[in-house]
Amino acid sequence: MRWLAVMCAAALAVLLAACTPAINGLTGISVDRQGHLVIVLGWCGRASPERAVITHDGVDPLRGTDYVVDASYQAPRLSGQLASFRADDPRDGWRLEGSAPSFQKDITYSAGSGGRRFPGYYSTGDVEFRLSTVARLAPGQVFIQDPREEGLPERMVTMREFVGIVHDSC
């Protein structure tokens, strides 16, 4: 009987671990020269993102989730370890599924990306932002929640620093 309890505990641990994707990189936001929101992704190894999403807290009765999907993107075949695309008008093979996101002033959004590779899922983590965050950005700056520090503090970094943080996390 003891072996049954041990097996059940082990199976539960495996199932719970499978629910949380492994963090394999970093997500940030930036703006282009015209001030459009740009999603910036960096990842480790060959596990490039397959999808990206922008969400916010709220009930979505159609999906039965406690978040609302504002935009969903299908990634092209990616090489290297860095990609970026405009949130409202993605190019270079990124495909927006549905209409462009319409952001509201007092809502906190979350952007992230990920994919699936045996034996499970992986993610570049999320970055939370508001329109006021986007307004403070200049081209070449990337807003992140720094994974190297306790509590994931918000930071504005250069693109070069972003690449370095991704590299250090691999």
What would the pLDDT profile of 71-102 be if each residue is shown by its tens digit? 999 999 999 999 999 999 999 999 999 999 99
Tell me if 101 sits within 8 A of 88, measured CB to CB: yes
pLDDT for the residue 19: 54
Q: Where are the domains of the chain?
A: 23-169
Tell me if 121 sits within 8 A of 140, measured CB to CB: no
| Per-residue pLDDT reduced to its tens digit, 9-19 | 333 333 333 45
Most confident of 1-15, 56-70, 115-129: 56-70
Please give the mean pLDDT across all residues of the chain. Answer: 85
pLDDT band (50, 70, 90) for residue 105: very high
pLDDT for the residue 119: 65
Rounded (5°) CA angle 89-91-93: 135
Output DSSP code: residue 146: -
Tell me if 142 sits within 8 A of 159, measured CB to CB: yes
pTM of the model: 0.84
User: Across residues 4-31, what is the average pLDDT?
Assistant: 57
pLDDT for the residue 30: 98
Architecture of domain 23-169: Sandwich (2.60)
Closest to 55 (Cα-Cα) out of 6, 103, 122, 117: 103
Sheet holding 37-43, edge to edge: 82-86, 37-43, 25-31, 141-145, 154-158
